[in-house]
Structure 1
Amino acid sequence: MVPDRHAGYVRGEPQFPRAPGHRRTGHVEERRAELLAHRSCRDIDKAPLRGEYLGTLARARVRNDVGHIVTLVQEAVDALLKAAGSSSFMETNTLARIFQDVGVAGSHDHATPGIANDVYGKLLLGADGPLPVHV
């Protein structure tokens, strides 16, 4: 939670007039990411229980979901950082470390939203030709 605090060098009203909106945005993005993650995990877990291998289209959708999850989490953390103010970017701040971790996680190939979206779209449309990555 982002504290309601005053800037040390300014007197008067709290310095977070937009903070509730940023917190709400962060919460919504986090909830959307959670729902996508649950759907993907459910699909991944259920296929072996049925004695099946997750098909190409299902794997592409899961990969696409992971790309969207990464984007949503990045947006949620960004909203929280904006709500907390510039002091949240200090190296000692937990939120700054989370921001860095999310950035690193989002840089992995399997979490790249653009490529995953392209592959999933091509498979949905039945496009011919090679895919940019192995699904």
Structure 2
Amino acid sequence: MALAIAPSAADQPPSIALVQVEDVTVEDTWHVAGMAGTGSNTVVADRVIVPAHRTLDMGGFLAGAYATRHEGEPRNAVAVASMLALTVVAPMLGMARAALDLTLATSARKPMSLTVYERLADSPSVQLAAVASLVDTAQLHAYRAADDLDHAAAEARQLTVAERARIRMDTAVAATRSREAVDPLVSVSGASTFALTNPLQRIWRDLGTASRHGVVNPDLGREIYGRSLLGIAEQPTFII
């Protein structure tokens, strides 16, 4: 599935094109510090002709005009941009929660280097309540966004622009709080956290990369939501 942008309509939403695998090549370009396992290499389609029946207007797609023969399916009314933003956030919630669980387990058994503390948990400097609150905050925002999507789908209606703008903000908050939660956790256990055998350093790298995905850009999320709150119709992106 590829996005095709017409040179004459560069400022318009692209078309979605289904391209046969044998018509494309894959360049090995995905050499990254985080999310290395996604295999997000460069796919090249050189002068590939795609018939009209294998294309879909992305602008209509984002507006809920799905190409389907099945009428009355509630999930066909889901705002796809909002739903896709949540799918990006979902693994971040899991990573943040896993990082907290790993640190709690380590704190109960590992001594603090160069101190008298036989367990990290014995030191007043090991404060995890604020971190746990950040993880909860991320989850609460993501779950509110999911509820908005579910309720609209149950009513077989499209979310309003204002609702979609808030979901964009919620997903940005969830991603940012997840990253903020993990950052101090890698310091609790000290330099040993960065051993390649330690899963916490992988979570730190993966979350640091994932939380900077364009669809959860916090500055853009604030701009989108702020414009909506002020009643400004023009938005800086069509992916809302």
**TM tier, smaller:** 0.7 to 0.9
Partner of 1:106: 211
TM-score of the pair, normalised by structure 2: 0.51
Q: How does 1:105-124 map to 2 (within 5 A)?
A: 105-124=210-229
Ranges in structure 2 where 5+ consecutive residues have no aligned partner: 1-103
Show CA shifts across 1:1-24 (max 9, x none). Answer: 1324132xx3633584311x1x21
Show CA shifts across 1:79-107 (max 9, x none). Answer: 21122222112222111111111112112
4+ residue stretches of structure 1 with deviation over 6 A?
none
Partner of 1:82: 187
Aligned length: 130
Cα distance in 1 for partners of 2:158, 2:197 equals 44
CA contact (8 A) 2:165 2:225 kept: yes
CA contact (8 A) 1:25 1:79 kept: no
CA 1:15–1:85 in structure 2 vs 1: closer, same or farther (change >3 Å)?
farther
Cα distance in 1 for partners of 2:148, 2:164 equals 9
| Bigger relative contact order, structure 1 or 2 (CA pairs below 8 A, ≥6 apart) | 1
Which shifted more, 33-42 or 10-19? 10-19
Partner of 2:237: 133
Q: How does 1:7-86 map to 2 (within 5 A)?
A: 7=113, 10=114, 12-14=116-118, 16=120, 17=123, 18-19=125-126, 21=127, 23-86=128-191
Ranges in structure 1 where 5+ consecutive residues have no aligned partner: none
Partner of 1:5: 111
CA contact (8 A) 1:30 1:73 kept: yes
CA contact (8 A) 2:138 2:173 kept: yes
Greater percentage in strand: 2
Q: Among all aligned residue pairs of Structure 1 and Structure 2, give the percentage whose two residues are the same amino acid.
A: 29
